[in-house]
Structure 1
Amino acid sequence: MTGVTQFHNLLHTCISFIGAVLLLAIYYNITKRFKEVLEEGNSIKRVDKGLLYFSFGMLVWVVSGIWALSASYFTFEKTTIHQIGINILSTVNNLFWLMALYYVYDAPKFIYRNEKNVKVIAIIIVIVASITLSFSFLYGNDFYYGIKIAALPDVLLTTFLCFLMGVSFYRTFMYRDLKLVAFISVIAIVLLFVSQLSDVLIGFDNEFTNQLIRVIAKTSLISVFLVLATSWVIQLAHTPKPNEMKIQFLDWSLIKLTIPSKGIVNAKIDFGSKTTQYKNLLTFAYRRKFLEAEKQSIIVNSGGDIKSQTYVTRIIDNINSILNTEEEKLERKDLITFIGESKYRLRILPEHIIIDEALLEEYKQQL
């Protein structure tokens, strides 16, 4: 191991460890201070673990740094065992990134809160890891036509996850009006992708440049995680309390909404021709107010009461567009909470939900 590589591994290990510890500290502080909001209406106490899985991913970086240093010290860098260790750590890291994206609201919809798809991708990751291990035994560290066959499957999988992370972070920070951070996050993800090329292509063999890119990418990404944690704190602090929200269904397509912390007081909202969104909201309200606790939720998936999460999101988007709110926009989490297994429930307390009697009778006839 050259001095440049040794310096990179030491720096990589220290930075990753500090970043992981900071994220863990922030996570546990958040879960303590906002425990009621995170566990609200959740019988299985399943809190948002996105930040936790990001920190676990960085701890895997720490282990990988220690593994690289150990390989250098005990001189087994060129062996198959070293390559297998790298592949296993990369697989675990990819799994943690995937589980983190499951909790990121602005992640692509086929991953966010979609247990079925996440399980499918997790299985794919394990299969790719198995193929990579097989290639490691068959081909070792040899290059064929300028390509390291053993590392190719893992690099392709990492590229896919980098794409998902880039899209998720860009959407998250743009939505929170942190445009500069959004662009920095994309650059960090691109650099992280570029840093993988030296593992599979023989042409990317400038050691100093490769290690510099890796340090910049991982340091930038850790900084992005910290900003993400800060934005999460702000979001939780601005989440309306259930006992302050009130909703009244006046007529078909017409509601009156009150959320003081969002500057909404007795605001009349006419959904107009958007009857699907209105009916979905009325269904949420009806179940929350009149049904037993275990039946108050709605299953949102291809085989559920609501076929797609897009329809749930449109309820909030329509309310924002009708109210024409600029600064204090409603988020889906403000009105609708996820309680596990594709189930969602209205956050407003039953006693704060009022449905016109004639409207209620008409709605019951359609059940």
Structure 2
Amino acid sequence: MNQLTQFYNLSHIFISFIGAMLLFAIYYNIQKRFKTVLEEGVVFKRVDKGLLYLAFGMLVWVLSGIIAYTVNHFQVEKTLWYQVTINLVSTLNNLFWLLALYYVNEAPKFIYRNEKNVRLISGVIILTAVLTIAATFLVGDKTINGIKLIAIPDVVLTTFLCLLMGVSFFKTFMQRGLKLVAFIAVSAIFLLFISQLSDLFIYLGTDFINQLIRIVAKTSLVSVFLVLATSWVIQLANTPKPNEMKIHFLDWSLLKLTIPSKGIYNEKIDFGSKTTQYKNLLLFAIRRKFKDALEQSIIVNSGGEIKSQTYLTRIIDNINSILELEDENKLERKDLITFIGESKYRLRILPEHINIDEALLAEFKRDF
């Protein structure tokens, strides 16, 4: 084994291992400190395991590094079993990345909290891996015009997941005000994609360039994951606790809101002509206060009671605009409305902290 390959494999192992351990440590700390925020309510348990799956994905990198180091040390990298092992490890890594995206709020909607589609894509990944392994025994290391045939399926899948990760992380960091990190994340994922091409095109680049791209991509991605974890801690720390929030619906378009952690104390909010947003918020409050736990949510999609998530965002935007809150105290949608799953959303304020004027309630029930 030459020194360049030895350096890359050892660097790959230790960088991935340290990154995975740090993510596990942060995840454990988050679960310990923010348990009540992560597991709201008695019925709906929404434990976010995205960070955990990112850590497992990095442990797979550690495993692949150990395998590569061992294989190169004994100079058996041309054997068939090594090709099969690499395909299996790559498949496992892709699965962990996909499972992590399931928990990312800004992931494409066909993945975010969509168990059916995630199972379908996972099945496609596993099936592709099985077919690739079968092709390994039939095709081996055969190449056509410098293209390694058995690498095609894995590169296609990795490209698909890199695209999903790029979109998800870019939107996540932009939404959290970390614009520079958003561009760094996209760059790291792009480099990760580029690093896969040398497995497909055997004459692409030199060993030095290919190894350099790989180590830079993976080091950058580890850093991005750590920033993501840190921003999640900050986000959870700034999320109001359900038992501190109070809302009182006084009249049509008028309510009183209290959220101490956001500097809001008995503030009167007049929605004025924006009655659609007010009615939607009142509907959430009525469901939360008077329905059983399983019936407190509202379906938000084209066929649901509320047709679009845009209406939810407008509720929060109107409150921020009317109260003229400073940037650090501005409400986010997740502060008042929590996602349950399967297009269902529920008000976070506890039922006992929701008050509705009796005349307003009677009029709403009659007109709705």
Same fold (TM over 0.5): yes
Q: What 5-or-longer segments of structure 2 have no aligned partner?
A: none
The letter of the residue matching 2:9 is N
Cα distance in 2 for residues equivalent to 1:107 and 1:199:
28
1:141–1:362: structure 2 CA closer, same or farther, 3 Å change rule?
A: farther
TM-score (norm 2): 0.91
Quote the offset at 1:164 in angstroms: 1.6
| 2:225 pairs with 1:235 | no
1:310–1:135: structure 2 CA closer, same or farther, 3 Å change rule?
A: farther
Runs of 4+ in 1 over 6 A off after TM superposition: none
Quote the offset at 1:311 in angstroms: 4.1
Q: Is the 8 A contact 1:106 1:172 kept in 2?
A: yes
1:132–1:269: structure 2 CA closer, same or farther, 3 Å change rule?
A: farther
Quote the offset at 1:348 in angstroms: 0.5
Q: Secondary structure at the match of 1:17?
A: helix
Cα distance in 1 for residues equivalent to 2:142 and 2:367:
67
Q: Which residue of 1 aligns with 2:51?
A: 51
Quote the offset at 1:366 in angstroms: 4.6
Cα distance in 1 for residues equivalent to 2:126 and 2:307:
29
Measured against aligned partners, the alpha-carbon deviations of 1:33-75 in whole angstroms (never above 9, x if no partner) come to 1111111215364411111111011011011111212222343
Cα distance in 2 for residues equivalent to 1:227 and 1:173:
9
Q: Is the 8 A contact 2:87 2:133 kept in 1?
A: yes
Cα distance in 1 for residues equivalent to 2:247 and 2:282:
10
Q: Which residue of 2 aligns with 1:348?
A: 349
Deviating more after overlay: 288-297 vs 232-241 = 288-297
After TM superposition, list the pairs within 5 Å mapping 1:1-150 onto structure 2. 1-43=1-43, 45-150=45-150
Deviating more after overlay: 35-44 vs 212-221 = 35-44
Cα distance in 1 for residues equivalent to 2:124 and 2:264:
46
Measured against aligned partners, the alpha-carbon deviations of 1:160-181 in whole angstroms (never above 9, x if no partner) come to 2112212222222222222222
1:144–1:366: structure 2 CA closer, same or farther, 3 Å change rule?
A: farther
Quote the offset at 1:263 in angstroms: 2.2
Q: Secondary structure at the match of 2:15?
A: helix
1:177–1:71: structure 2 CA closer, same or farther, 3 Å change rule?
A: same
Measured against aligned partners, the alpha-carbon deviations of 1:183-227 in whole angstroms (never above 9, x if no partner) come to 211111111111111011134141111111111111111111111
Measured against aligned partners, the alpha-carbon deviations of 1:296-353 in whole angstroms (never above 9, x if no partner) come to 2234456554455454344334433444443322222211223445543211011221
Q: Secondary structure at the match of 1:78?
A: coil
Deviating more after overlay: 94-103 vs 307-316 = 307-316
Cα distance in 2 for residues equivalent to 1:68 and 1:323:
58
Cα distance in 1 for residues equivalent to 2:279 and 2:82:
58
Q: Is the 8 A contact 2:43 2:294 kept in 1?
A: no
Q: What 5-or-longer segments of structure 1 have no aligned partner?
A: none
**Percent of residue pairs bearing the same amino acid type:** 72
Q: Secondary structure at the match of 2:240?
A: coil
How many corresponding residue pairs? 367
Cα distance in 1 for residues equivalent to 2:132 and 2:306:
40
Q: Which residue of 1 aligns with 2:159?
A: 159
1:157–1:316: structure 2 CA closer, same or farther, 3 Å change rule?
A: farther
Q: CA-atom RMSD, angstroms?
A: 2.3
Q: Is the 8 A contact 2:43 2:293 kept in 1?
A: no
| 2:202 pairs with 1:202 | yes
The letter of the residue matching 1:82 is Y
1:322–1:156: structure 2 CA closer, same or farther, 3 Å change rule?
A: farther
Q: Is the 8 A contact 2:248 2:356 kept in 1?
A: yes
Q: Secondary structure at the match of 2:345?
A: strand
Q: Which residue of 1 aligns with 2:172?
A: 172
Deviating more after overlay: 100-109 vs 252-261 = 252-261
1:313–1:156: structure 2 CA closer, same or farther, 3 Å change rule?
A: farther
The letter of the residue matching 2:105 is Y
Cα distance in 1 for residues equivalent to 2:97 and 2:234:
23
Quote the offset at 1:259 in angstroms: 1.4
Cα distance in 2 for residues equivalent to 1:347 and 1:83:
50
Cα distance in 2 for residues equivalent to 1:142 and 1:2:
25
Q: Which residue of 1 aligns with 2:182?
A: 182
Q: Is the 8 A contact 1:42 1:339 kept in 2?
A: no
Cα distance in 1 for residues equivalent to 2:307 and 2:141:
48
